[in-house]
Amino acid sequence: MNGKSCVRCGNKAQLKRPKTGELICKECFFVVFETEVHETITSSNLFSRGERVAIAASGGKDSTVLAHIMKVLNDRHDYGLELFLLSIDEGITGYRDDSLESVKRNKEEYQLPLEIVSYEQLYGWTMDAIVAQIGMKNNCTFCGVFRRQALDRGCELLKVDKMVTGHNADDVAETVLMNVLRGDIARLQRCVAIVTHDESGGYIPRAKPFKYTYEKEIVMYAYFKKLDYFSTECIYSPNAYRGFARELIKDLERVRPQCIVDIIRSAETFQFDTVNIRKQVISRCEKCAYISSQKICRACVFLEGLNSGKAKLSVFESEGKTQKSKARRVEEEEKVERSKVSILNADW
Amino acid sequence: MKVKVEFSGGLELLFDKATRLTVDVDEKTTIKDLIAYLKQNHLKEKPELFMSGDSVRPGILVLVNDVDWELLDGADYKVEPNDNVVFISTLHGG
Ligand SMILES: [Zn+2]
Ligand SMILES: [Zn+2]
């Protein structure tokens, strides 16, 4: 093996950085990786001193590295944050129970308090029970809607000011492409924001400290630091995480790795015609008070269906039952389709 | 010659949960040859999740003795006795 040298220190290089093409050694990689995340945090003013911050922790690679780095940077740069781990237990035997074990090890290692919110306690249903009733077809839609709300409930319990998620540059670039391909301008504008929140303050702001961090570097960092993470797919959505947009991004990355950050930068610099972006009117669900653009939020609609044993009907056909024109119905069905895709992407 | 192989990031699931293997391959074996050998002799399911063309599918990282294969000759790198070749999937949920 011939040795190439690190551009920073001259020692043996061990990694080629996808963003810059630089060759770098392991020790220098740790420094630049951590420094860049710190710079993202400070230049975007992600946090204020004294804030309570929940780390959405799934036990997977991104959130495991995120928990590690948040702890390291908070200590090193004295952000003055109070950090918490927040996990959702969907109730999926052989998947979530194993990944929660990995979160529990993180809790011990980083000495962070852990809150686990389960679908069973929140909704009275585990995903196992839901799948037993409705089958494998739309279960990811249920799960995505429930998870989003469960994370917010967890944040309420922890009384945090913010939540951070492990979304990385590859995830953001993928979402940009999906929104371009769907012509979803409102989401396209929102998906590159480093912090998302709604104006009414309805849910806790969510921040992405890894917005510019490549997946390759996150995995390399975990590998070199020997961080313990869980990497099995959800048994109910084999490969669902890998849509065609992801495939395309990975192919492009192999040819020109910079494309990932370029896609993000492009979307950040787009000028949006705000007149044509229809603002959603946000109100509160009449049943559970969760923010919703409808009178009853989607989680409650799902639950009603599940509890009455007619889940399939309630979710995908109830809207069509009332007398609406066919065109309107088609439009709504499309909306459901679109939101299904976006829910897959909205996962951490 | 003997070469050590490791799988992680979920790839081990395609190899009957094996995280480590020692394989015996010919001199002048390249990583590309090694990938074909692993597919032939050890891969248990879903070859499309491991391979694309005659290399690994994009999104799988390869390291030889803790060095990114992009610093070596990639798939054309010729493995040496006792090399430790690590395949890590980045494709499993975060
Ligand atoms: Zn160095
Ligand atoms: Zn509700």
Distance CA A327, CA A333 (A): 10
A85 torsion bin: left (phi>0), alpha (psi -120 to 50), beta (else): beta
Q: Do B90 and A253 touch (CB under 8 A)?
A: no
Distance CA A82, CA A228 (A): 23
Distance CA B92, CA B59 (A): 10
**Could you tell me if residue A297 is inside a domain?**
no
State the total domains in chain A: 2
Which residue's structure tokens are 């990694």? Answer: A15
Same domain, A30 and A95: no
**Could you tell me if residue A14 is inside a domain?**
yes
Q: For A19-62, what is each residue's pLDDT tens digit?
A: 999 999 999 999 999 999 999 999 999 999 999 999 999 999 99
Annotated binding site of A for ATP: 56-58, 62, 88, 166, 171
Tokens, residue A42: 């400070």
Q: Are strands B20-24 and B2-8 parallel, antiparallel or unpaired?
A: antiparallel
Query: Mean pLDDT across chain A, nearest whole number?
Result: 84
Share of chain A above pLDDT 70, in %: 83
Give the E-state strand segments of A242-323 in sequence order.
Answer: 283-284, 291-292
Tokens, residue A195: 């912090």
Tell me, yes or no, if B82 comes closer than 8 A to chain A by beta carbon. no
DSSP state letters, A119-174: HHHHHS--HHHHHHHH-SSSHHHHHHHHHHHHHHHHHHHHT-SEEE----HHHHHH
Query: Does A16 score more than 90 pLDDT?
Result: yes
Q: What's the maximum distance between 2 C-alpha atoms anywhere in chain A?
A: 73
Which residues in chain B (7-66) have CB-CB distances under 8 A to chain A?
8-10, 13, 57-59, 61, 63-66
Q: Are strands A52-56 and A82-89 parallel, antiparallel or unpaired?
A: parallel
Same domain, A90 and A235: yes
Which residue's structure tokens are 């989003």? Answer: A148
Same domain, A32 and A143: no
| Partners of residue B71 in chain A, C-beta under 8 Å | 4, 13-16, 23
Ligand 2 center–CA A321 separation, angstroms: 21
* Mean pLDDT value of segment B65-77: 95
Ligand 1 center–CA A32 separation, angstroms: 10
Query: Does A240 score more than 60 pLDDT?
Result: no
Angle at CA of residue A82, ends A78 and A83, nearest 5°: 105
Strand partners, A86: A56, A115
Distance CA A166, CA A208 (A): 6
| pLDDT recorded at residue A276 | 63
* Mean pLDDT value of segment A161-169: 96
The three-state DSSP-derived secondary structure of B6-74 is EEECCHHHHHCCCCEEEEECCCCCEHHHHHHHHHHHCCCCCHHHCEECCEECCCEEEEECCEEHHHCCH
Q: Which residue has the higher pLDDT, A199 or A165?
A: A165
- Going by pLDDT thresholds of 50, 70 and 90, the confidence category of residue A181 is confident
Q: Do B92 and A233 touch (CB under 8 A)?
A: yes
Distance CA A340, CA A13 (A): 43
Strand partners, A87: A116
Same domain, A221 and A120: yes
Same domain, A25 and A58: no
- Output the domain CATH number for residue A255: 3.40.50.620
- Going by pLDDT thresholds of 50, 70 and 90, the confidence category of residue A328 is very low
- For residues A326, A330, A336, A339, the Cα torsion angle rounded to the nearest 10 degrees is -140
CA-CA distances (angstroms) from residue A255 to A249, A280, B75? 10, 39, 15
Tell me which residues of chain A have a C-beta less than 8 Å from any C-beta of chain B.
1-2, 4, 12-16, 23, 26, 58, 60-63, 166-168, 171, 215-216, 218-220, 223-224, 231-234, 241-242, 250-251, 253-254, 347-348
Residue A55: its H or E element? strand A52-56
Distance CA A248, CA A177 (A): 9
End residue of a domain, out of A282, A298, A323: A282
In chain B, domain spans: 2-89
Same domain, A13 and A77: no
| pLDDT recorded at residue A326 | 44
Least confident of A16-30, A42-56, A227-241, A282-296: A227-241
Residue A253: its H or E element? helix A244-255
- Going by pLDDT thresholds of 50, 70 and 90, the confidence category of residue A77 is very high
Q: Which of A99-103, A195-199, A205-209 has the highest mean pLDDT?
A: A205-209
Is A36 exposed, middle or buried, given 0-12, 13-18 or 19+ CB atoms closer than 10 A? middle
**Could you tell me if residue A316 is inside a domain?**
no
Same domain, A88 and A108: yes
Which residue's structure tokens are 């946000």? Answer: A282
| Partners of residue B8 in chain A, C-beta under 8 Å | 223, 231
**Could you tell me if residue A304 is inside a domain?**
no
Tokens, residue A52: 């309570």
Q: Count the neighbouring beta carbons within 10 Å of the beta carbon of residue A93.
A: 11
- Going by pLDDT thresholds of 50, 70 and 90, the confidence category of residue A279 is low
- Which residues touch A278 (CB under 8 Å, ≥6 apart)? A186
In which domain, by residue range, is A107 found?
Answer: 47-282
* Nearest Cβ partner for B71 among A4, A250, A347: A4
CATH architecture of the domain with range B2-89: Roll (3.10)
* Mean pLDDT value of segment A213-230: 95
Same domain, A34 and A140: no
**Could you tell me if residue A325 is inside a domain?**
no
b (16+ CB within 10 A) / e for A113-143: ebbbbbbeebbebbbbebbeebeeebbbbbb
Closest CA to A141 of A236, A53, A225: A236
Q: How many helices (H) and strands (E) does chain A have?
A: 15, 10
Q: Do B94 and A4 touch (CB under 8 A)?
A: no
Same domain, A126 and A141: yes
* Mean pLDDT value of segment B33-54: 93
End residue of a domain, out of A262, A282, A302: A282
**Could you tell me if residue A123 is inside a domain?**
yes
Query: Does A329 score more than 60 pLDDT?
Result: no
| Assembly ipTM | 0.95
| pLDDT recorded at residue A275 | 63
Tokens, residue B24: 């015996």
* Nearest Cβ partner for B58 among A61, A234, A250: A250
Same domain, A202 and A91: yes
Residue A10: its H or E element? none
Strand partners, B56: B51
Same domain, A16 and A60: no
* Nearest Cβ partner for A220 among B61, B65, B93: B61
End residue of a domain, out of A9, A28, A43: A43
